[in-house]
Structure 1
Amino acid sequence: MTDFTRTRRAFHLPQGITYLDGNSLGPMPVAARDRVAGMMRDEWSELLITGWNKAGWYAQPRRVGDRLARLIGAGPGEVVMGDTLSIKVFQAVSAARAMRPDRRVILSDSGNFPSDLYVAQGLARAVGAELRVVAPEEVAEAIDHIGADLAVLMITEVDYRTGRRHDMAALTARAHRAGALTVWDLAHSAGAVDVDLTGADADFAVGCTYKYLNGGPGAPAFIWIHPRHADAAQPILQGWMGHAEPFAFDLDYRPAPGIERMRVGTPPVIAMTALDAALDVWDEVSLADLRARSIQLTEAFIAGVEANCPGLVLNSPRDPALRGSQVGFRHPQGYAVMQALIAEGVIGDFRAPDVLRFGFAPLYNDLEDVNRSVDILARILREGSWDRENFHQKAAVT
């Protein structure tokens, strides 16, 4: 049984704040401050460049990847860290498409995060492919309709705006029957729900670590390849660290074996040290317990809002089996309402055009957070205190 009281204590949560935005940026793990300070004091300061060998910086992307693997249903040696999520999306989709050279279509859905679609649009233009985007509920039918021309199914498992969760195993099986490969983005899944890439027989997966994994702003992304593809996948973006012998300084690229070929640039050692500290919290966490607590929190929040905030409309699936660990509600003045909430110490976020989005992170959110946020939201709506000029002025980051 996971001790969620213990995991909550592992995070710095500012006094007076109810934090429901871990699906955008997780709070700081208490251990991260000292871990990063120690790395800078004992490794960077004293070891200088010898830290790549003596402190294990060079091997850090695989070592940290192995720690993360359990949380996504992957095995040792199958995950590597580094770069940004957009880069990992490009690597995964380009490698998958190259493995189906006679097929033209990359299929995604309109609930995918726009950045993934931008990456796929650019790739499709460069290689003479076509990106086709359908509504989330139309993906299965589109796989069958495209059939033998489908190269890659590129899907974010949990919709960033609605929290709708795709059935990874079912869609992967359907894509495989059509002869296509799958790329799953786990940005809103890893650390939030019970992901099982191996059990779903997925082909490629990517994700970020600054949301539910609490690695810090700009924390490095990860990439996974099913072992059956690991020595065949050839990404278009080939970097120095993914070479079979980086320090031979060959002029021609030779891919490293397995997942190591998906390394690109120099690993961000300071950021990865913070992430390594964040992953300590997960050592005694059961994913089944995590999922059960997520459902408990989101169900309680939906019930509370619908009972006390009649002006809001649910923008997430009502069935928890079809939902990730976030809940959205719609309001015509959603941005202003969210700013009023933040001013009262309840931090969620806004997604255009009208969605108030609330992320529930089982490691540190509890029912007290649910009740407080519902009470304050209801009062703001009842009193109309959101309708102030400063709450309508949009900041650069919403």
Structure 2
Amino acid sequence: MTTTPDATTRDATERDAADSLAAFPNKFVRSPEVRAYLDGNSLGRPTTASAEQLASFVSEQWGGRLIRGWDESWYELPLTLGDRLGRTVLGAAPGQTFVGDSTTVVLYKLIRAALNARPDRSEIIIDTGNFPTNRYVVEGIAAELGKTLRWIDPPLDAGITADHLRAVLTENTALIMISHVAYRSGYLADMPGITALAHDAGALVLWDLCHSAGVVETQLDEWGVDLAAGCTYKYLNGGPGSPAYGYVRQEHIESMTQPIQGWMGSSTPFEMGPGYLPHHGIRRFISGTPSIIGALAMQDMLGLIEQAGIPAIRAKSVALTEYALELTDELLVPLGVAVSSPRDSRERGSHVTIDHESFASVNAALWKQGIIPDFRRPHGIRLGLSPLSTTFAEVQLGIEAIHAELAN
């Protein structure tokens, strides 16, 4: 039987004690049934503030203000919250970010808007490792419009690089669809470099920020990004199905048209007129009535991010993933586990993927123990480490539990 190495070599106590963000994990709802939560890159823990706010909203805002709430704040919330998200997390000036719809719908809108802006170009570049929704939406739109897909097939433990793009970029490239952090490997793409390369070829880029927003420093304005989209239930802790967001660079807003024309994006939404004219500004990218309840929890998380600051959050993210790799090398690699994420923290988001042929059954066993990582087929476990809510002790407990399952 394999023995566990001396625990003193990987003790998390000192790391948690020295953590500058040590006060934050207690600001999240922590169930005694969950001993270690290592899936913050799929669904973030609720904040304690959100637990209180959701209850008071029903009685005070929804129940008390009723329809008056739309005039008082709800109507503007997709834009005011978008501006706050842009300022706090995205590096975006006001008037370029909206909140609403699902990630799939936002992607559809922005992809179509980008292709409409490049009508003389026929090709879309996307990679086989991109999140399924991204691939499915692009495939559907390409079939709908008669566009050609150019596929990049990155390594399992990496993602798209500038060299990959140079091999497929042509004068016919209209749009590149790429994830800032690859959902499986955690590979952190070079956003400014790739964006500049695309622009040199006359193409637009749409960045998926689902696995990076809130844990990776991002400067959409400074880096010249055209379009971006992301969800809010991962590192932004908005809760299951909380609304997505979209970013459109200021210079593109008035010239782009999105395909889902809804009443709230019209120039005169309350006149209920016979024809549609798009609203000026980023509101034209809104379609129907947004989910107000779904946007509540994200606001509380943005407050915590504002307190901590993205640089400190990113530093904690790097420290957590480095610790996870250190423990993996010590405890799991000798048992045949492969690391399927970049070793260089400059190329890694806030999750680490490890692979072993037994991980489907191991993951199921861990869940029964209240240790919650994430399983990705065919045989990968993702350790999603959310810096404000995850402790080093949870990382240690999780990896020791994986070791115990494999060893026995």
Give TM-score, length-normalised by structure 1.
0.93
What's 2:188 paired with? Answer: 165
Q: Give the one of 272, 277, 291 matched to 1:249.
A: 272
Query: In structure 2, what is the Cα distance between the partners aligned to 1:132 and 1:114?
Result: 16
What's 2:244 paired with? Answer: 221
Query: Aligned AA for 2:121?
Result: R
Q: Does 1:336 align with 2:361?
A: yes
Shift in Å, 1:140: 3.1
RMSD: 1.6
Query: In structure 1, what is the Cα distance between the partners aligned to 2:101 and 2:45?
Result: 21
Query: Aligned AA for 1:327?
Result: V
Instruction: State how many pairs are aligned.
Output: 382
Larger mean Cα displacement after TM superposition, 205-214 or 15-24: 15-24
Query: In structure 2, what is the Cα distance between the partners aligned to 1:3 and 1:58?
Result: 38
Query: In structure 2, what is the Cα distance between the partners aligned to 1:141 and 1:284?
Result: 38
Q: Give the one of 373, 376, 381 matched to 2:398.
A: 373
Q: Does 1:115 align with 2:133?
A: yes
Larger mean Cα displacement after TM superposition, 258-267 or 269-278: 269-278
CA offset digits 1:58-102 (Å, max 9, x no partner): 111111112211201111222110010000101111111111100
Contact 2:38–2:395 (CA under 8 A) maintained in structure 1: no
Shift in Å, 1:41: 0.4
Alignment of 1:1-398 (within 5 A): 3-15=20-32, 16-54=34-72, 56-69=73-86, 70-136=88-154, 140-141=162-163, 143-144=165-166, 145-309=168-332, 310=334, 311-383=336-408
Contact 1:334–1:354 (CA under 8 A) maintained in structure 2: yes
CA offset digits 1:361-392 (Å, max 9, x no partner): 11111221222112211111111xxxxxxxxx
Query: Aligned AA for 1:11?
Result: F
Query: In structure 1, what is the Cα distance between the partners aligned to 2:358 and 2:163?
Result: 35
Contact 1:109–1:139 (CA under 8 A) maintained in structure 2: no
SS at match of 2:283: helix
CA offset digits 1:4-28 (Å, max 9, x no partner): 1232121012225211101000011
Query: Aligned AA for 2:331?
Result: N
Query: Aligned AA for 1:148?
Result: E
Query: Aligned AA for 2:397?
Result: R
Shift in Å, 1:200: 1.6
CA offset digits 1:19-50 (Å, max 9, x no partner): 11010000111011221121110121122212
Shift in Å, 1:2: 9.1
Question: Structure 2: where are the runs of 5+ without partners?
Answer: 1-17
Contact 1:168–1:200 (CA under 8 A) maintained in structure 2: yes
Query: In structure 1, what is the Cα distance between the partners aligned to 2:394 and 2:377?
Result: 25
Query: In structure 2, what is the Cα distance between the partners aligned to 1:374 and 1:332?
Result: 16
Shift in Å, 1:199: 2.1
Contact 1:21–1:360 (CA under 8 A) maintained in structure 2: yes
Contact 1:4–1:364 (CA under 8 A) maintained in structure 2: no
Shift in Å, 1:349: 0.9
Query: Aligned AA for 1:17?
Result: R
Shift in Å, 1:142: 5.2
Query: In structure 2, what is the Cα distance between the partners aligned to 1:104 and 1:143?
Result: 16
Give TM-score, length-normalised by structure 2.
0.90
